[in-house]
Structure formats: C-alpha cells, structure tokens
Chain A
C-alpha cells in the first residue's frame, strides 16, 4: 500500500492460498476491449504470461523422482467455493486438470487421479484447499475436501504440494512483525519495503499502549483474513471499542495493533461521477527452485464505500487493472 508519494508499506503477507490473480488477468482483458487506445498510447507490460509462468514454476518444483514432464493438477474445494472461478480459470489457462479430493486416491505410494483411461499419477498439486482440510487422517478428521493419506505421500517425497503445508505461518500477523529481522537475517540486507509499525499485544507494554489508544489504532487477529474480526478504531463507536477491549484483555496474544494509515486513493466512477476511494495493491510473486518471477502488474483492490478502508472483495470491495510501464 501507498501512504505518500514515495511511501510504500508492506501490509501483510499471503502465502497460504492467495487468490485474486484471475481478476488481475480478466481486468486486463476487459480494459483491452474497452480502452484499446490507452494501450496503443502507453507501453504497458503484459500480465498474460502469469498462467504459463505458474505452470513452469510448478513443474520446476516437481519431486526429484519424477521422470519426464511432471503432471500438474489444481486441487479445488469444488464449485461452491467462492474462488472456484479462479481455480477453473487457472486450470483452463494452464491446461491442467482441476481435481477435487474425491478424484484422488493414494495408490502405490503416489497420489493418483481417476481418469477415463485409468489412474494417473500427479507429481505436483497446486492446492487451493486450506491446510486443515488437506488430509483427514492428519488434520481435520471431518474434511471431505482432502485426500486421506496425502500427507504420508508428501512426507515420502512422492508429491509436491504447492504452496507447501505450513506456509500459512508466514501469513500470521504476529510473524509479520518480525519480517524485517527475518529478511535481514537471511539476506544480510535491509528490507527494501517498510513494514507498518506493529504492536504485539502479547507484550505487556504494547498491550497497555494499545488499550490506551484503541480509538486511534487498527487491531487485527493474528490469524485473521478477509477483513473479519478486526477493529478500526477511528471508525468504531464507544461501545464497539469497549467490547473489543474486553476481548483483547482476555486473549492478548491473539491480536496485533497498527496505527491507522491513510491508504492512497484512486478515482473511481461512482454514481455521482468521479470520486476518490482508498486502495491497496496485491502483487503476485512466483517462487520455484528455478528462481523468482514477479508479475509486472497486480491486483489493485478498491474500497467502494466512501471513506472506507476495507478493500476485501468478500466485503464488497472492487478491483482495478494495474499497470507497470515499459521504460
């Protein structure tokens, strides 16, 4: 997100099952159709390579014992999931199978999918199912979305699961507060982008400060997502603040707090004409043993309500095409 002309901050990390890339691609397609002249006047870097690069990254992550071209598949919770469109879109664009848990089974120590010609081994599974639901034998025993025994196959090194189970720890908002140190520890260099100042409520001093300044802070659950379970101090009523303070005292380590930042705005076309709305940016980065690939574009998320800072699409936020210009 941006707060000033050259002030960019990292707001959070998404390493579990990050979604939204299909919106980035479809936004660009729509813009190309509606405003072709903008693209002939400006040299905009294309984002359409993303599915190809994603497939390449996934293939490059195949297990060592895979000979020949790796078989890739996307694991989706199914048509009732809100991101199903994205799952089928990516499967279509990458030319890989879109599977659900009940299409898969463990046979001969491998994960195989049931096809019209028999069972076929999968080498790399791009999963869009949360950790908890991946394997009823290892995690949530009631899960119908996963594959019983897949974690054994994974541990034996016979399938690559991307993103790897456990990467969600990087999404944790308390972990986030240590990111500058983590970056420096592993790279020996300072992080290029700044973190937002973050108070860990598990620490007594921080908790005290947060409780005293709730009306000015944004408080979030450490494992939360989608803009739920949070308090936006300046926008909250007295009663909401009192209630939230009680929750905070009860379980301080469940929360972090940040100063309310003024997100930058972009113009949108509202009912009464052009109007400013707050935005943030979600860039997409692919990482594989072969290297890193930063998509020259991203998903700009817009809070459609006037003054609102909640950009999540699950709460009525919109999206915008985002350009990176050629030099």
Chain B
C-alpha cells in the first residue's frame, strides 16, 4: 500500500471519530445546561477545553454561552475540529484513498458529509439540536457499519482501526484531563456521591452513563469511574481498550509485512504498563500526572506511526 494511502486511511478515521466525539461532548454539555441552573458557563468552558479548541474559541468569543459554544463546535469553519470540519476532512481523505475503500464505505462517508452539509448549513436551533446530534451519530454509525461489514481485513483495515483507536483514546484522556480534579478522592466531600453532576457529565461525554451503572451496580465512586475510563477492558472507549486495539492492529501489520518498527516497541511498553496497573497505583502516582503522560505518549505514538509507515515521505 502507498504510504500516502495508509496516512489517508488513518486520518480519515481519526476525523470521523473526532466528529462523533465532538457531537457527544455537545450532547453532554447541552444536558447539563438544561438540567442545572448553576454555572452552565463553566461547563461549556470545560467542553471547549476538552475539545482542544480553547484558543480558537477565545479568539472569537468573550463568553461561554450555549448558543456560541454549540455553533462553534458544530459548524464553525474557523474551528478545525468542528463536526463539519472533521466530516469534510474525513471525506477529503476518503476521496484520496478511494481505491482502498469499498463502494459501501465510500458512499457512507460521502453521505455523512452531504447530510451534515445540509443539516449544518444554518445555525441549529435549540429545539432541533437533539435531532441533529442524533443524525450525526447515526451517520457515523453507518460508516462504521459499512466498514465492519464490507472491508477486507488487510493492512487497510489495520490503519483505519489504529486511527479510530488513537483518536478515541485521546478523546477519553482529554475528558479525564479536564475533569480530573472531580475524580480525586477528596472530591467526594464536595457532594453526595449519587448527586455528583460532574461525574454524570464525564460518563455522558463518553455515552457510558448507562453501561457504567450496569457494570458497577450503580456503585458511583471516583475510583470506580476512573477505573472504568482508564482500565476497564470491556468498555470500548477506555484507554486500556483503545490501547489493545492498537496493539492488535500493530500485531496484524507486523505479521502481514513480516517487519516490526519502533512503534511496536512503544505500544508494547504501554501494554505492559496497563497489564500490571491498578487504579490504586494510578492514584498513587497522581491521576493528573498519569493522564498527562498518557496523552503525550499517545501523541508520540501517532507521530511514530507516521514515520514508520511513511505516511508523508
């Protein structure tokens, strides 16, 4: 496969994942804004921070209001990570790697872009927001479904998986990074555990408020939530889960190509860390430090892959 094609696949799936994650962040923020009267501005601020677009937002707006944040995250061309920008870049990459995709996948990603282009042509009214966010999730589910149902399990699939998992791990890690202080053991004194708005927001941002309860019998403690987000091998958005997907895909590539690279060592080291890690140990080293290290490692891994598989020359 051409290095450019591998890079195109990787970025196509990173951007698809990003557009879906951004929609999910908006959904969580919107719910808080609707159900809590106090201080929605600081909630929206942490949503913008989590999306990693603080500086471009601040350059445009002075305050964090629902209308501005939702518009900026959904459809502002000045925001390179907005849902629309991401869907557009996903499609541009898909066009570039058109020959590596099945017709079904290409049509799904093209339709994703067309539907969003029409839906997001004008600012979205508050009353329409739930429908629009639902559409975004459904369109990206169609792409993923076409992917799983029709693509050959070759290196093409591996690079797509790596892109998805890396972006998803980055997203989950950034959610923890912004809200880590609410998960520190001392935070339990702030309010009664069952009523912790912040925890609910975190779980909603990864669409896991129900699965968490189901797995943990509603035992909401900061340690349980952190364990769920970082180490749970059953939760498809946990750091450990994403890291395993990357390890698996690297394994397939190594077997397929009969060739290993520095990126294989990086992921192996990360996997070894996860295998022997408990949430108590994470709190011992410091949750914030752990997450910061993880984000840096994840970024470095991305750059290593680009170099090892010659995405750019």
Chain A contact residues, CB within 8 Å of chain B: 78-79, 84, 88, 91-92, 97-100, 102-103, 113-118
Whether A114 and B95, one on each chain, are in contact in the complex, defined by CB atoms closer than 8 angstroms, is: no
Of the A-B pairs whose beta carbons lie under 8 Å apart in the complex, a sample of 15, sorted by A's number, is A78-B96, A79-B92, A84-B95, A88-B98, A92-B98, A92-B99, A97-B2, A98-B99, A99-B2, A114-B310, A114-B313, A115-B2, A116-B1, A116-B257, A117-B1
Beyond A79-B92, A102-B313, whether A113 also contacts B99 by CB under 8 A is no
- Assess the B4–A103 pair: CB atoms within 8 A: yes
Task: For the complex formed, measure the closest distance between the CB of A25 and the CB atoms of chain B, giving whole angstroms.
Answer: 14
| A117 & B99 in contact (Cβ 8 Å cutoff) | no
Q: Does B309 touch A at the CB level, under 8 Å?
A: yes
Structural contact, A116 and B99, CB atoms closer than 8 A: no
B77 within 8 A of A: no
Q: Is B3 an interface residue (CB 8 A)?
A: yes
Interface contacts beyond A79-B95, A116-B257: sample of 7 additional A-B pairs, CB < 8 Å, sorted by A: A79-B96, A84-B95, A97-B2, A99-B2, A114-B4, A117-B257, A118-B310
Specify the chain B residue showing the minimal Cβ separation from A119.
B310
B6 lies within 8 A of chain A by Cβ = yes
The residues of B that contact A115 with a CB separation of less than 8 Å are 1-3, 310
Task: Find the A residue at minimum CB distance from B313.
Answer: A114
In this complex, what residue of B is CB-closest to A113? B2
Question: Which residues of B are found within 8 Å of A117, using beta-carbon distances?
Answer: 1, 257, 259
Beta-carbon nearest neighbor of B309 in chain A: A116
A227 CB to nearest chain B CB (Å): 27
Q: How far is the CA of A91 from the CA of B2 in the complex (A)?
A: 13
B155 interface residue per 8 A CB criterion = yes
B155: chain A residues at CB < 8 Å are 116
Binding site for A on B (CB under 8 A): 1-6, 92, 95-96, 98-99, 155, 257, 259, 309-310, 313
Contact of A114 (CB < 8 Å), options: B2, B92, B96, B257: B2
- Of the residues A84, A98, A114, contact of B3 by C-beta under 8 Å: A114
A91 partner residues in chain B, CB cutoff 8 A: 99
A contact residues around B5 at 8 Å (CB): 97
The answer to whether B96 and A116 touch across the interface, beta carbons within 8 angstroms, is: no
Specify the chain B residue showing the minimal Cβ separation from A94: B99
| Chain B residues in 8 Å Cβ range of A97 | 2, 5, 99
Chain B: minimal CB distance from A295 (Å)? 22
Contacts of B3 in A (CB 8 A): 103, 114-116
Q: What distance in Å separates the Cβ of B260 from its nearest Cβ neighbour in chain A? A: 12
Residue of A nearest to B94 (CB): A79
User: With A and B bound together, what is the CA distance between A113 and B3 in angstroms?
Assistant: 9
State A98–B96 Cα separation when bound (angstroms).
Answer: 9
- In Å, the complex CA distance between A267 and B95 comes to 35
> Which chain A positions have C-beta within 8 A of B99?
88, 91-92, 97-98
Cα separation A100 to B5 with both chains bound (whole Å): 11
Count chain A CB atoms within 10 A of each CB in B1, B95, B98, B155 and give the residue with the most. B98
Cα distance, A79 to B8, chains bound together (Å): 12
Centre residue among A79, A102, A116 by max chain B CB count within 10 A: A116
Q: Using Cβ atoms and an 8 Å threshold, which residues of chain B touch A114?
A: 2-4, 310, 313
Closest 10 CB pairs of A and B: A88-B98, A116-B309, A114-B3, A92-B99, A91-B99, A116-B6, A79-B95, A116-B1, A114-B310, A98-B99
- Most chain A CB atoms below 10 A, which of B5, B92, B99: B99
For B311, the closest partner residue in chain A by CB is A116
A79 to B2, CA, bound (A): 16
Q: Which residue of B lies closest to A117 (CB)?
A: B257
Q: Which residues of A contact B92 (CB under 8 A)?
A: 79
A103 CA / B310 CA spacing, docked (Å): 10
Bound-state CA distance A103–B8 (Å) is: 13
Q: Which residues of A contact B310 (CB under 8 A)?
A: 114-116, 118
**In the complex, A113 Cα to B5 Cα: how many Å?**
12
Question: In the bound complex, what is the Cα–Cα distance between A152 and B96 (angstroms)?
Answer: 28
Chain A residues within an 8 Å CB radius of B4: 100, 102-103, 114
Residue of A nearest to B308 (CB): A116
Cα separation A44 to B95 with both chains bound (whole Å)? 33
Instruction: Give the distance to chain A from B99, nearest Cβ to Cβ, in Å.
Output: 5
Q: How far is the CA of A100 from the CA of B3 in the complex (A)?
A: 12
Chain B, residue nearest A97 (CB): B2
**Alpha-carbon distance A92/B259, docked complex (angstroms):** 27
CA distance A113 to B2 in the complex (A): 7
Q: How far is the CA of A97 from the CA of B96 in the complex (A)?
A: 12
Expressed in whole angstroms, the Cα–Cα distance for A113 and B1 within the complex equals: 10
User: A85's closest neighbor in chain B, by CB?
Assistant: B98
CB closest residue in chain A, given B96: A79
Q: Using Cβ atoms and an 8 Å threshold, which residues of chain A touch B259? A: 117
CB neighbours (8 Å) of B1 from chain A are 115-117
Give the one of A98, A100, A113, A118 with max B CB within 10 A.
Answer: A98
Instruction: Tell me, in angstroms, the Cα distance from A312 to B212 when the chains sit together.
Output: 61
Which chain B residues lie closer than 8 Å to A116 at the CB level?
1-3, 6, 155, 257, 309-310
Rounded to whole Å, the gap between the CB of A195 and the closest CB of chain B is 39
Which chain B residues border A84 with CB–CB below 8 Å?
Answer: 95
Residues from chain A with Cβ under 8 Å of B98 in the complex: 88, 92, 98
State A97–B99 Cα separation when bound (angstroms): 8
Give bound CA distance, A88 to B96, whole Å.
9
A103 to B99, CA, bound (A): 15
Instruction: Report the minimal beta-carbon distance from A105 to chain B, rounded to whole angstroms.
Output: 8
- Complex CA gap A201/B313 in Å reads 50
Instruction: Tell me the smallest distance from the CB of B122 to a CB of chain A, in Å.
Output: 28
Give the docked Cα–Cα distance between A102 and B309 (Å): 15
Q: With the chains together, A207 CA to B185 CA distance in Å?
A: 94
User: Least Cβ distance of A71 to chain B in Å?
Assistant: 12
Shortest beta-carbon distance from B102 to chain A in Å? 10
Q: How far is the CA of A91 from the CA of B99 in the complex (A)?
A: 7
Q: Please measure, in the bound complex, the distance between the C-alpha atom of A79 and the C-alpha atom of B4, giving whole angstroms.
A: 13
List the A residue with the shortest CB-CB distance to B103: A92
Q: Which chain B residue has the least Cβ–Cβ distance from A114?
A: B3
